[in-house]
Structure formats: structure tokens, C-alpha cells
């Protein structure tokens, strides 16, 4: 299995631009999670999906952030407009079940200048 | 606000020694506890999980859980330089949100040859 796939691996953009991060979970996994990691705040859960349905988006910081999962093999996290404080590493993770191990993708390092 | 606390370190031990990593959590309803290892610039990977009070051993790693004290620890025996990484403690939400993991900010471990 290829594991969780994320793209792009690095993204540098200017403040105000739209940013779209992509994730392909492990085939057969019913749960998909989006995290953000910074030195100050650590690893924070932004939103998670079960069977393509958003279940809890309470971690999404602002309305500028949105996430979708149109099918079982693809999810996006969009930031519009982006701000310098959004600079972080964004991880996607998937899991076979709610209480089982979460497998993390390689992450997308986002820099907003 | 559910919290998971870890000593940020760095924790420095000589090669061959026992490294002890500690974690406390605030949610008494938490059911599952995980230790993730994260190498610099990489994604977190699961090394241990524990559900019941007591000890769980896997090779050189031992996880210890004390729910009454809301305390979980990870012991690494015969530490190797390759164990140098940040160790993240993660706790599930318990109750109706047992699918959400809350992560500590991690403890940086350095094993000196």
C-alpha cells in the first residue's frame, strides 16, 4: 500500500492567495483527519470525516478554512485568503476505525509570505 | 478544554540507558492512549498504544498507564541514537468523541553515542 498521499509537499504563496492542499487516504480507511502542526501549538486536529461526511470541524480556525471529501479516495483543505499565520505543516491522516491507529501522510509545509 | 501535557525536553540520555517519557491528561473519560514518534521533518508514526491500566511491552518499548492518576508513560530500554526524535503522547476524547485524538506538544529525546 502506498500509504497516505499528500500534495503538494511544499507550498509557498503570498498573503491573500488561495491555497489548496490535497490528500488521498489509504484505501479502505473510513476516517480521514486533517491536522496542523506548529512549534507554538503543536499538532492540532482541524476536521475529520467519516465515510466522506464531515463529522467535527470545531478545530477549523476560521471561515477562511474549508475542507471537502467528494469521494472515499480524495480530500481537500482550502484556505482562502491565506495569511502569514497560516504557515505550518498540514498533515492528513486516515484510519480504519475511530479508535484504531491513525496513519499520517508526509505533510504539506505551507509558507505564506 | 481537553489537555495533554508533556515535558518539552530536551531529554538527553546516553546510548544504552533507559529513557523515560511522561504524559498527563485532563479528560478522565479518555479510553485509549498512544505514543507517536516524529523524526525531524517527518510525519508522526505510531509506536505504542495502551488501553488498560498497567504495563504493555513491545520490544524495547514499554507503555505504562495509570488512569487514576491520569498518567501515561513510555520507557525506552537500551536507547539507541536512532531513537532520537520527538515523542508525542496522544489521548482519545472518550465518551461521545472517542474518535478525536488530542496530542501533547511532544518531548524531544536525544540519545548520545
Inter-chain CB proximity A99 and B101 less than 8 Å: no
How far lies B36's CA from each of A28, A83, B64, B108, in Å? Answer: 22, 30, 14, 12
CA distance B30 to A80: 35
Q: What is the pLDDT of residues A1-49, one digit of tens each?
A: 689 999 999 999 999 999 999 999 999 999 999 999 999 999 999 999 9
Inter-chain CB proximity B43 and A31 less than 8 Å: no
Query: Does any CB of chain A come closer than 8 Å to the CB of residue B106?
Result: yes
B99 bridge partner residues: none
Indicate the residue of B32, B44, B104 with minimum beta-carbon distance to A99: B32
Q: What is the pLDDT of residues B72-104, one digit of tens each?
A: 999 999 999 999 999 999 998 765 555 788 999
Confidence at A101, pLDDT banded by 50, 70, 90? confident
pLDDT computed for residue A64 by the predictor: 96
CA distance B22 to B34: 12
Judging contacts by C-beta atoms under 8 Å, the chain A residues touching residue B32 are 99
Amino acid at each position: 500500500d502506498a500509504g497516505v498521499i499528500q500534495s503538494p509537499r511544499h507550498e509557498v504563496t503570498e498573503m491573500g492567495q488561495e491555497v489548496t492542499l490535497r490528500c488521498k487516504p489509504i484505501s479502505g480507511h473510513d476516517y480521514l483527519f486533517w491536522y496542523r502542526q506548529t512549534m507554538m501549538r503543536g499538532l492540532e486536529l482541524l476536521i475529520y470525516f467519516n465515510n466522506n461526511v464531515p463529522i467535527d470541524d470545531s478545530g477549523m480556525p476560521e471561515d477562511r478554512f474549508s475542507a471537502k471529501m467528494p469521494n472515499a479516495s480524495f480530500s481537500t483543505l482550502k484556505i482562502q485568503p491565506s495569511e502569514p499565520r497560516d504557515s505550518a505543516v498540514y498533515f492528513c491522516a486516515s484510519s480504519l476505525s475511530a479508535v484504531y491507529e491513525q496513519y499520517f501522510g508526509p505533510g504539506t509545509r505551507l509558507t505564506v509570505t | 478544554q481537553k489537555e495533554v501535557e508533556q515535558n518539552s525536553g530536551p531529554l538527553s540520555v546516553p546510548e544504552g540507558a533507559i529513557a523515560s517519557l511522561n504524559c498527563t491528561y485532563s479528560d478522565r473519560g479518555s479510553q485509549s492512549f498512544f505514543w507517536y514518534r516524529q523524526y525531524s521533518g517527518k510525519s508522526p508514526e505510531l509506536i505504542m498504544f495502551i488501553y488498560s491500566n498497567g504495563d504493555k511491552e513491545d520490544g524495547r518499548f514499554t507503555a505504562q498507564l495509570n488512569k487514576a492518576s491520569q498518567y501515561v508513560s513510555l520507557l525506552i530500554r537500551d536507547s539507541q541514537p536512532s531513537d532520537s526524535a520527538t515523542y508525542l503522547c496522544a489521548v482519545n476524547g472518550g465518551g461521545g468523541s472517542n474518535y478525536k485524538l488530542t496530542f501533547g506538544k511532544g518531548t524531544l529525546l536525544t540519545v548520545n553515542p
